[in-house]
Structure 1
Amino acid sequence: MSRRVVRQSKFRHVFGQAAKADQAYEDIRVSKVTWDSSFCAVNPKFLAIIVEAGGGGAFIVLPLAKTGRVDKNFPLVTGHTAPVLDIDWCPHNDNVIASASDDTTVMVWQIPDYTPMRNITEPIITLEGHSKRVGILSWHPTARNVLLSAGGDNVIIIWNVGTGEVLLSLDDMHPDVIHSVCWNSNGSLLATTCKDKTLRIIDPRKGQVVANNFEEPVALQEMDTSNGVLLPFYDPDSSIVYLCGKGDSSIRYFEITDEPPFVHYLNTFSSKEPQRGMGFMPKRGLDVSKCEIARFYKLHERKCEPIIMTVPRKSDLFQDDLYPDTPGPEPALEADEWLAGQDAEPVLISLRDGYVPPKHRELRVTKRNILDARPPSGPRRSQSASDAPLSQHTLETLLEEIKALRERVQAQEQRITALENMLCELVDGTD
């Protein structure tokens, strides 16, 4: 009598479980925009969700611990003049998030550790360069302040958020709408999918497609799913890929190995209600004491529900085999180093003692001095008396005045922040 050989894997019994009702986030008007992004972004400090908002686009940012019913007057992040289509937390600063909108702009926001008293309306910087709506955002995994955006103009722009400059513009790679973009682990290459049904591997700094022949798959997995968009989430620490169908009510997960058949089905987490979107917690935000290897934030019509993936273990000790060192919040490169051709793997941290997010770190934007820019090439018009060049002394005087004004503005911002903190303490004290 033949015996069926069972493949050995520590992830064979991974199971999903919805958090208790009091751990959900209730009364959130999740956006009804028909767009293919996940509508949700999460990190060890905050949960951000794109919401319905009158008069433009908005998203809500909740401290992770603020579960339960959300006050209808809870402050939003508003500033876009059309719906927000995608949001993404900076991997190197848990207080910084980028948003992309139908209004063709990308905005980068600083989120305070305290709950603000009013809507956040002023981004740190607005990035303008797309001619149509911007629907895809992705921060570089290892270089500081490098952000990718892709728009309905079929263009990918890579920005230095620290200066507001365009580092690279890939405008002749895709003949049709870009559906998704993903960096590899060290940020040297991009993978993109496009409406032309072609998967491209791109070297962004060379501006070249370096791989494009994917006609013969190494593995083919038939999916028993609806026609909704699949949102894939990959965990390189465990080599597990999770597939969440938008409009579906399931999370299917598979282990990826180096040997045939490469893709191994593990299990399916199913619930009654379909998901409108899904957030995926970075590894450093998980509870290692409970052998938690993944956590999702499932969007319903009016709430967000955490779903926890666990490996059953009896021991209370730290499980080294489940938690190899994982990418931490420190960047490995500066933006100009990456642009110059350097590559670096993520800076890893141990989760043995758990992870405590660092306190609020401010993102400073230093715009390049426009006086340093070269004059435009081409014929110059004749110079009139009113066009006489400014003297060196006049330029230096102007620059000094600008510097003094900037310092005054920064001082006022610090004073406003201090007053808001005092007000928050007073409000908390009277509760």
Structure 2
Amino acid sequence: MSWRPTYRSSKFRNVYGKVANREHCFDGIPITKNVHDNHFCAVNSKFLGVVTESAGGGSFIVIPLSQAGRLDSHYPKVCGHQGNVLDIKWNPFFENIIASCSEDTSVSDPQPLFYINILIWNLETGEPVKMIDCHTDVILSMSFNTDGSLLATSCKDKKLRVLEPRSGRVLQVTFLSPSN
């Protein structure tokens, strides 16, 4: 019996990409270098948001997807943070709402109605609903599931927690270990 490696053949082996025409591309966008491990852009079915380089605080730009091509160097920027913008996300339910977070520990939308620290908020009223206080150190990352019923957080104490955001109850705690 001879040894032969078995490889699964890909059904995409004869598929080739095609470069988009220049009129369908976005050009001249000053993309930031300060987002570290976060995304520098966010897109939905209407808009493209890109974190940009700026002096004296953080900013990002919002471009309608129908406006492809070269971007004017004086294109308006969304400003409002004292520190660099770290991440931006579109509201999954209302396509015209975008939120940004910054090194100045604030989260806001382009016309800030309120600033958010680590609290669970009612976004319609701008009122805090619940303070999550089960962490022993700085929260590094957090993410809701698609319907908002669960919240996962990672903390500097090397623990991953799954919570019910409305009650603040911790459902599960897992110790994070480095990949080897």
TM-score between both structures, scaled by the size of structure 2: 0.80
RMSD: 3.1
Taking the aligned partners of 2:158 and 2:164, their CA distance within structure 1 comes to 19
Letter in 1 for 2:122: N
Report the counterpart of residue 93 of structure 1 in structure 2.
Answer: 94
In structure 1, the residue matched to 2:106 is 105
> What does 1:16-415 correspond to in 2, within 5 Å?
17=17, 19-20=19-20, 22=22, 23-109=24-110, 123-128=111-116, 130=117, 156-170=118-132, 172-213=133-174
User: Which residue matches 1:148?
Assistant: none
| Aligned-partner SS, 1:201 | strand
For residues 125 and 53 of structure 1, what CA distance do their matches in structure 2 show?
23
For each residue in 1:206-247, what CA deviation from the matched residue of structure 2 results, as whole angstroms up to 9, or x when unmatched? Answer: 32221124689xxx9x8xxxxxxxxxxxxxxxxxxxxxxxxx
Q: Which has the higher contact order (CA 8 A, sep 6+)?
A: 1
Report the residue type matching 2:136 in the other structure.
P
Q: State the 1:56 CA deviation.
A: 2.1
2: CA distance, partners of 1:190 / 1:17: 37
- Going from structure 1 to structure 2, the CA distance change for 1:39 and 1:173 (only over 3 Å counts) comes to farther
Question: What is the identity, as a one-letter code, of the residue corresponding to 2:88?
Answer: I
Alpha-carbon deviation of 1:163? 1.0
> Residues 70 and 198 of structure 1: is their aligned pair in 2 closer, same or farther, counting only changes over 3 Å?
same
Structure 2: how far apart are the matches of 1:214 and 1:12? 39
Aligned-pair CA distance for 1:126: 2.6
Decide whether the 8 Å contact of 1:105 with 1:126 is kept in 2.
Answer: no
Q: Write 1 or 2 for the structure with the bigger share of strand.
A: 2
Deviations 1:129-152 (A, max 9, x none): x3xxxxxxxxxxxxxxxxxxxxxx
Following superposition, the deviation at residue 205 of structure 1 comes to 2.2
Which has a greater percent of helix? 1
Q: Is the Cα–Cα contact under 8 Å of residues 50 and 58 in structure 1 kept in the other structure?
A: yes
Task: Name the CA shift for 1:16/1:100 in 2 (closer, same or farther; >3 Å).
Answer: farther
Q: For residues 66 and 76 of structure 2, what CA distance do their matches in structure 1 show? A: 16
* % identity of equivalent residues: 43
Number of equivalent positions: 175
Contact 1:25 1:69 in 2 (8 A): yes
CA contact (8 A) 2:120 2:131 kept: yes
Letter paired with 2:42 = A
Q: State the AA in 1 paired with 2:114.
A: T
Residue-by-residue CA offset, 1:262-287 (whole Å, 9 max, x unaligned): xxxxxxxxxxxxxxxxxxxxxxxxxx
Cα deviation, residue 13, structure 1: 3.7
Q: Which residues of structure 2 form unaligned runs of 5+?
A: none
Larger radius of gyration: 1
**TM-score, with structure 1 as normaliser:** 0.36
1:207 to 1:28, Cα distance in 2 relative to 1, 3 A: same
CA distance in 2, matches of 1:173, 1:89: 27
Relative to structure 1, is the Cα distance of residues 5 and 78 closer, same or farther in structure 2, using a 3 angstrom cutoff? closer
